[in-house]
Structure 1
Amino acid sequence: MKFTDGYWLMRPGCTARYAAEVADVRADEDRLTLYAPVKHVAHRGDTLNSPLLTVECWSPAEGVIGVRATHHAGSVRRGPEFALPGASAEPSGKVRRDGSVVELSSGELTLRVDTAAPWRLEFRSGDQVLTHAGERGTGFVTDAEGRHHMVGQLALGVGESVYGLGERFTPFVKNGQTVDIWQADGGTSSEQAYKNIPFHLTNRGYGVFVNHPGKVSYEVGSEAVGQVQFSVEDQSLEYFVVHGPTPKEILTRYTALTGRPALPPAWALGLWLTTSFTTEYDEATVNRFVGGMAERGIPLSVFHFDCFWMREYQWCDFDWDAETFPDPEGMLARLKEQGLRISAWINPYIAQKSPLFEEGMRNGYLLRRTDGSVWQWDLWQPGMALVDFTNPAARDWFTGRLRTLLDQGVDCFKTDFGERVPTDVVWHDGSDPERMHNYYTHLYNQAVFELLREVRGEGDALLFARSATAGGQQYPVHWGGDCESHFNAMAESLRGGLSLGLSGFGFWSHDIGGFEGTPTPTVFKRWVQFGLLSSHSRLHGSKSYRVPWDYGDEAVAVTREFTLLKHRLAPYLQRAAQQAHATGVPVMRAMVLEFPDDPAAAALDRQYLLGDDLLVAPVFTDDGTVEFYVPEGTWTNLLTGARLTGPRWVREQHGFHTLPLLARPDSVIPMAADDQRPVSPWAENVELRVHAFADGAERTVAIPRSDGPGEVARFRVRRDGERLRVSTDSEHAWQLRLGGPEGPLHLFPAGTTKAEIPFAD
């Protein structure tokens, strides 16, 4: 929110007060409290009739420093609050005082304050100043309507770029943007977002998490071009500065504080197919789709039933439409006999025609207005109401209906919606309506995920969620929402996914082919490539089907080839998933995350790293032309064997069966022998693809477990001159291929624990 009129003036009706200096400081062993008047105090009379801000500083975890600035401390805080599972009960900071200078240090991060100088909170790493809150960095503003806003500003350095703030489809680098952290169902072509996260990081070694679940308004190098400003309508503003210094270390610390993603089941890595949204379908349609995929040699892992598995006007009543699906248990059993998992669409709304509406209203399970009536409107579903997840009984009632579906054979849920949440309401637990607007989705997804974890087990719980807020990364997977079916929408979806990955979310997907409209065969085939080189892959549309044969024979071939490729990459992808689970580093990584010291990587948003070692540059053109950046070293196209040496920009033209899929220099990519399913005995006859190994290079490759964290085998690969040496603890036969798909292949029988082969680069 903008408060100023240019640099010198305030907007009409706005009055600002900023911390000017430190009048007093209370320094404990591990905590600072600063008392900051909003004007210079020259004599005792200046202490009268003027605000005094209380600024508390502490460390909830190593490498993280919290700041809470408060104007009036007597305001009622009704919640909700973000859970911080990584906040330590033991002090993580240490205070040191030297004359007028007082410092709070945690790990390599230090907050420095000179109490004898004008107001300045300086965040340092060693001798380097990362950022600071200066002249207008801490304060409050009252606007023309009398609303009270707490405001923070942190300085941007020359060339400093800002990333994150959730799944945003606007330009990838957020500098120059106004961003409101406010859940909305705005599609992928607007400034609104389904997943709003009050966390950003920069390319200068730190991130900032604003610990406020309600609306947070950001001016990112916009109102004040050298500052990131964030404000909340409240009497207090709390934020955490998170040190890296690398972007990966920032995400690791941030997700340790707010929660790491669960590890999705490996079966979810395969291809998902849906009924689409408003298309006509019944069991015969489903069988035609499933049978058609099998006939065309396209392995399918998950089948998803979208909204109309329930009767129209009755979403949600969680009962199958008996006319369309007369035998749901039998149908699901027949699908599962073919090796499929089942996903079902749900949302947290109860339409008036649903028999659950009267039951929910009678028992107080539905959100109410201030006059005690149930909140309703006709957008989306006629007369729909919201389940009040702050009521434990309502939560149990809602999840109880889902238990029935799990008993019938459903494996996971697409938790749609959760963004359009009103503020003129009263929550069961007394939560503040403004703060609950964003937080509602967290309670919704948490309730469904915890049910799945209880019923299906720790390693088998999985959502396909659209909305989220901070901490929502704990309940994967998330998908990108409603996009159009053209190349621009494909590119904006990727921007959103990369932005979400830099906001702490490890797993992300999107509707292959686009949701609204019908893609051209060219767009469909290019989106298939992109989708099957994402962490999770789902064919889904709105008014048209996404079965490949509707887009031509070549679309069938492309879908088959890239599905088989993803199955072969399953051990590599599962290892990346384990990393996301353990560290918070996403499977799909913006280039700046992997190459923070390369200036050319700072703004790249049309390519990404898939795991540690594969660079993907989707094609966004009709003629197959693609421009992409190759970082330093010699990179090998996994599909063609072609080599590219960077750093440099490259322009190539690709048919529909290839794209830039480049293996990193000195990388070893494990590929499963079985290309027909995502979960197989990955260590048996695993193929190790060795790429552009320099003399002296050494890599350790773990073959992960398919049923949880950990590994089943490990290979150590080292080049010594003209010899490549491999040692392993694997008990299985294995293979080693040098270079691309046509490179020399070496076979090793079971029990081979050491091998040495000639290396010809």
Structure 2
Amino acid sequence: MRFTDGYWQLLPGMTVLRPKVVEQVEVGDGRVRLHCPTGPLRHRGDTLNRPVVTVTLTSPAEGVLGVRIEHFTGLRPRHPEFELVTDPEVATSVEQDEQTLTFTSGPLSARVGLGGEWGMDFLADGRVLTSSTPRSIGLVTDGEGRHHVHEQLTIGVGEHLFGLGERFGPFVRNGQSVDTWNADGGTSSDQAYKNVPFYLSDRGYGVFVAHPERVGFEVGTEVVSRTQFSVEGQHLQYYVVAGPTPADVLRRYTRLTGRPAAVPDWSFGLWLSTSFTTEYDEATVTSFIDGMRERELPLSVFHFDCFWMRQFHWCDFVWDPATFPDPPGMLARLREKGLRVSAWINPYIAQRSELFAEGAENGYLLRTTEGDVWQWDMWQAGMGLVDFTNPDAVEWYTSKLKTLLDQGVDAFKTDFGERIPTEGVRWHDGSDPQRMHNWYAQLYNQAVHELLERQRGKDQAVLFARSATAGGQRFPVHWGGDCESTFVSMAESLRGGLSLGLSGFGYWSHDIGGFEGTPDPTVFKRWVAFGLLSSHSRLHGSSSYRVPWAFDEEAVDVTRRFTRLKMSLMPYLSRLAREAQTDGLPMMRAMVLQYPHDKAAVTVDTQYMLGDDVLVAPVFDADGWADYYLPAGTWTHLLTGEKRQGPGWHREQYGNDSLPVFVRPGAVLPRGAVLDRPDYDHVDGLTLEVRELADGEQAVVDVPTGEDAARWVLTRTGGALTVTARGTQQPWRVVVLGAGGEPVAEASATGAAATTLTWPPA
């Protein structure tokens, strides 16, 4: 929200109070409290009729500093609050003299001036990261008597800010006004399904505004040299998160807000959907699955979208008997074909559903302030909304899903959750309606994910969720929502996914080919390559099927090639998934995350790193032209073995069966022996592919094996490459690849062993 008219004047009707000086400091209980009058104190009379801003500094975890700005402190608490993982034993220190007070946690310090105007610098290793200036904090009252609190933190010269959730517009947030308010706006607007009040700087820090309600961000807009964030009310709570690198910031931020859960290996395979409004029954489903098998297209999951239920009955979780007369038998038959099954759901209960009356009678649906069930006709006629703040409603809702799990369903697509009313409603537990708007998605996805954990096991639980907020990364996977079937929308989807990854989410997917409309065959084939080099891969559309042969025979070949490629990469992808769980790093990484000091790389939003070793640049051009940037070193094309030198931009033309996908200099890529499914023993028959390893360099390859990991250490010394393995009993081999991708040297071993091969001469 904006409060000023230019730099000097306020908008009409606005009044603002700002801290002028620090009048008193209180230190104790691991916190510092600063009392800051809003005017100068020249004599005792100035303490009368003088509002005071209270600023409290805390540290919930090492390297994280909390700042709470308050006006009136007697208001009753509003909930829900974000669920933070704090460390009660975190070590902090306070240093104070006449001029400054410094509060430190780990590498991060807040330095407050005591001898003059208000000012607070955030420093790491003696370097100022960002600052709160004399005009940064404001207690604002607007013309209607509403109160707001804002903070403005400085933006340095050449600094770029990222994040704020899954946003589909310009990747760099500088110059944007963003309200964190979940909305069903598609991928072609400035609205977002997943709003996260956290931004990340390429200077090596992040800022998390701990308010589930609407937070207004003015990123270099209200004041071009500052990021302003504001909320309505009498207090503002935010946290500054230390680096020094963007990856370190994400590690700390996700330790605070929660790390992504593990997802099963089978979820990394190809998902095929019925699509949304298409006609289908078991015969249609079977024809799709058999068609995939006949064409040797590996398929792992089949997804039933909305119309598996009867029209006007969503959601009653009852299979439409006209099209699916024998659900348990059908699901058993799909399981016999080696498939997992996903079913579409949402948290809205149509009036014609038998569950509506049941939920209304028992208080399981959201009520109005007058005590009626809240209803409207959007989406489903007369629908109500499950009240997940009521534990009995959670039990009731998940009991219906348990029936589906007992029938043979494996996963749920938790659609919607954004259209949550804020006016004239009362939640069961008294939650503030403004705060519940975004938080609803968290409760919804948590209820379903925890059911899957109980029924299927923690390592087998997986969602396909659309809406989320901070902390939602704990309940993966999330997909990008409703995109159009165009190259432009494909690019905007990628921007959204990279932005979400910089907001703490480890996994992400999108509708291959686009959702709205039917893609041109070229768009489909290009999107297939992108989709199968993403964390999770799903063929899904709105009014048309997404089976590859519906486009042309080349689409079948392209789908086969990239599905098999992804299956072969599972030893590598499983390690990236483990890093998402343990470190909070996304599998699909914006260039800034891996190369924060490469000024040419940090703002690139048309490519990404799939983990730390593989660069992917989807093709967004009908004629196959691709522009991509390579950081320093000699990069090797994964499919052809061709070499390209960085740093620098390259422009090349690619056929539909290829794209710029390069292996990082010095990386050793582990490849699996199975090409038709993702859930196999990733170590058995493993091949270590060596492309570029300089004399004297060493590479380490880890492949998860249950709770542990097998490890290979490769060292090149002159003309010899020595490889040692531990943590495995399986056979494996190492291959040095030549300029055309062909093996030029190789050796084999079994289990924890060592082998040496001759490095081929230049």
Q: Same fold (TM over 0.5)?
A: yes
Q: Is contact 2:263-2:476 (8 Å) kept?
A: yes
CA–CA distance in structure 2, aligned partners of residues 259 and 688 of structure 1: 33
Q: Secondary structure at the match of 1:479?
A: coil
2:246 aligned with 1:244: no
CA–CA distance in structure 1, aligned partners of residues 94 and 467 of structure 2: 40
**1:741-752 alignment, distance < 5 Å:** 741-744=741-744, 746-751=746-751
Question: Partner letter of residue 74 of structure 1?
Answer: G
Q: Is contact 2:368-2:426 (8 Å) kept?
A: yes
CA–CA distance in structure 2, aligned partners of residues 27 and 364 of structure 1: 47
2:227 aligned with 1:228: yes
CA-CA distance at 1:749 after TM superposition: 4.3
What does residue 105 of structure 1 align with?
104
CA-CA distance at 1:634 after TM superposition: 0.4
CA–CA distance in structure 1, aligned partners of residues 29 and 289 of structure 2: 65
Question: Partner letter of residue 133 of structure 2?
Answer: G
Q: Is contact 2:642-2:741 (8 Å) kept?
A: no
Q: Is contact 1:512-1:537 (8 Å) kept?
A: yes
CA–CA distance in structure 2, aligned partners of residues 272 and 741 of structure 1: 30
CA-CA distance at 1:754 after TM superposition: 1.4
Q: Secondary structure at the match of 1:744?
A: strand
RMSD value, Cα: 1.0
CA–CA distance in structure 2, aligned partners of residues 735 and 454 of structure 1: 39
**1:106-185 alignment, distance < 5 Å:** 106-185=105-184
CA–CA distance in structure 2, aligned partners of residues 515 and 32 of structure 1: 51
Q: Secondary structure at the match of 2:733?
A: strand
What does residue 623 of structure 1 align with?
623
2:707 aligned with 1:714: no
Q: Is contact 1:210-1:240 (8 Å) kept?
A: yes
More displaced 10-residue stretch of structure 1: 99-108 or 56-65 = 99-108
Q: Is contact 1:78-1:430 (8 Å) kept?
A: no
CA–CA distance in structure 1, aligned partners of residues 604 and 443 of structure 2: 34
Q: Is contact 2:55-2:68 (8 Å) kept?
A: yes
CA–CA distance in structure 1, aligned partners of residues 153 and 79 of structure 2: 26
What does residue 32 of structure 1 align with?
32
What does residue 453 of structure 1 align with?
453
More displaced 10-residue stretch of structure 1: 485-494 or 686-695 = 686-695
Deviation readout 1:629-657 (Å, 9 max, x if unpaired) = 00000000010100011000000100011
Unaligned runs of 5+ in 1: none
Unaligned runs of 5+ in 2: none
CA–CA distance in structure 2, aligned partners of residues 422 and 613 of structure 1: 44
Q: Is contact 1:29-1:94 (8 Å) kept?
A: no
What does residue 583 of structure 2 align with?
583
Change beyond 3 A, Cα 1:745–1:275: farther
**1:720-739 alignment, distance < 5 Å:** 720-729=717-726, 730-739=728-737
What does residue 415 of structure 2 align with?
416
CA-CA distance at 1:587 after TM superposition: 0.2
Deviation readout 1:659-695 (Å, 9 max, x if unpaired) = 1110000101000011111122221221111121111
CA-CA distance at 1:745 after TM superposition: 5.1
CA–CA distance in structure 2, aligned partners of residues 45 and 385 of structure 1: 58
Q: Secondary structure at the match of 2:212?
A: coil
What does residue 20 of structure 2 align with?
20
CA–CA distance in structure 1, aligned partners of residues 751 and 430 of structure 2: 64
Q: Is contact 1:735-1:745 (8 Å) kept?
A: no
Question: Partner letter of residue 576 of structure 1?
Answer: L
CA-CA distance at 1:50 after TM superposition: 2.3
CA-CA distance at 1:30 after TM superposition: 2.6
Question: Partner letter of residue 474 of structure 2?
Answer: Q
Q: Is contact 1:30-1:95 (8 Å) kept?
A: no
Question: Partner letter of residue 51 of structure 2?
Answer: P
**1:534-683 alignment, distance < 5 Å:** 534-683=534-683
Q: Is contact 1:195-1:468 (8 Å) kept?
A: yes
Q: Is contact 1:578-1:709 (8 Å) kept?
A: no
Deviation readout 1:514-570 (Å, 9 max, x if unpaired) = 000000000000000000000000000000000000010000000000000000001
Q: Is contact 2:62-2:90 (8 Å) kept?
A: no
CA–CA distance in structure 2, aligned partners of residues 632 and 709 of structure 1: 35
What does residue 759 of structure 1 align with?
759
Deviation readout 1:52-79 (Å, 9 max, x if unpaired) = 0111101110000000001011112230
Q: Is contact 2:747-2:755 (8 Å) kept?
A: no
CA-CA distance at 1:38 after TM superposition: 1.4
Q: Is contact 2:749-2:755 (8 Å) kept?
A: no
Q: Is contact 1:664-1:691 (8 Å) kept?
A: no
What does residue 304 of structure 1 align with?
303
CA-CA distance at 1:734 after TM superposition: 1.6
**1:380-419 alignment, distance < 5 Å:** 380-419=379-418
Question: Partner letter of residue 99 of structure 1?
Answer: E
CA–CA distance in structure 1, aligned partners of residues 280 and 183 of structure 2: 29
Q: Is contact 2:745-2:759 (8 Å) kept?
A: no
Q: Secondary structure at the match of 2:743?
A: coil
CA–CA distance in structure 2, aligned partners of residues 401 and 92 of structure 1: 47
Question: Partner letter of residue 512 of structure 2?
Answer: I
CA-CA distance at 1:29 after TM superposition: 6.2
Question: Partner letter of residue 368 of structure 1?
Answer: R
CA–CA distance in structure 2, aligned partners of residues 515 and 689 of structure 1: 37
Q: Is contact 1:684-1:734 (8 Å) kept?
A: yes
Q: Tell me the percent identity.
A: 59
CA-CA distance at 1:725 after TM superposition: 0.8
CA-CA distance at 1:23 after TM superposition: 1.1
CA-CA distance at 1:750 after TM superposition: 2.9
CA-CA distance at 1:598 after TM superposition: 0.4
Q: Secondary structure at the match of 1:478?
A: coil
More displaced 10-residue stretch of structure 1: 27-36 or 222-231 = 27-36
**1:397-546 alignment, distance < 5 Å:** 397-424=396-423, 425-546=425-546
Q: Secondary structure at the match of 2:406?
A: helix
CA–CA distance in structure 2, aligned partners of residues 201 and 136 of structure 1: 23
Q: Is contact 1:185-1:192 (8 Å) kept?
A: yes
CA–CA distance in structure 2, aligned partners of residues 752 and 192 of structure 1: 52
Q: Secondary structure at the match of 1:398?
A: helix
CA–CA distance in structure 2, aligned partners of residues 699 and 710 of structure 1: 19
Deviation readout 1:66-121 (Å, 9 max, x if unpaired) = 00001011112230001002x11224321121233211100011111121121011
Question: Partner letter of residue 558 of structure 2?
Answer: V
Question: Partner letter of residue 592 of structure 2?
Answer: V
Q: Secondary structure at the match of 2:229?
A: strand
Q: Secondary structure at the match of 1:563?
A: helix
Deviation readout 1:673-725 (Å, 9 max, x if unpaired) = 111111222212211111211111111111212xx4432x2211011011111
What does residue 262 of structure 2 align with?
263
CA–CA distance in structure 1, aligned partners of residues 527 and 310 of structure 2: 31
What does residue 208 of structure 1 align with?
207
What does residue 41 of structure 2 align with?
41
CA–CA distance in structure 2, aligned partners of residues 115 and 698 of structure 1: 51
Q: Is contact 1:104-1:110 (8 Å) kept?
A: yes
CA–CA distance in structure 1, aligned partners of residues 297 and 741 of structure 2: 21
Q: Secondary structure at the match of 1:756?
A: strand
Q: Is contact 1:175-1:220 (8 Å) kept?
A: yes
CA–CA distance in structure 2, aligned partners of residues 403 and 120 of structure 1: 55
CA–CA distance in structure 2, aligned partners of residues 92 and 308 of structure 1: 55
Q: Secondary structure at the match of 2:451?
A: helix
What does residue 51 of structure 1 align with?
51
CA–CA distance in structure 2, aligned partners of residues 534 and 755 of structure 1: 34
2:8 aligned with 1:11: no
CA–CA distance in structure 2, aligned partners of residues 368 and 423 of structure 1: 11
CA-CA distance at 1:375 after TM superposition: 0.8
CA–CA distance in structure 1, aligned partners of residues 522 and 206 of structure 2: 39
TM-score by length of 1: 0.98
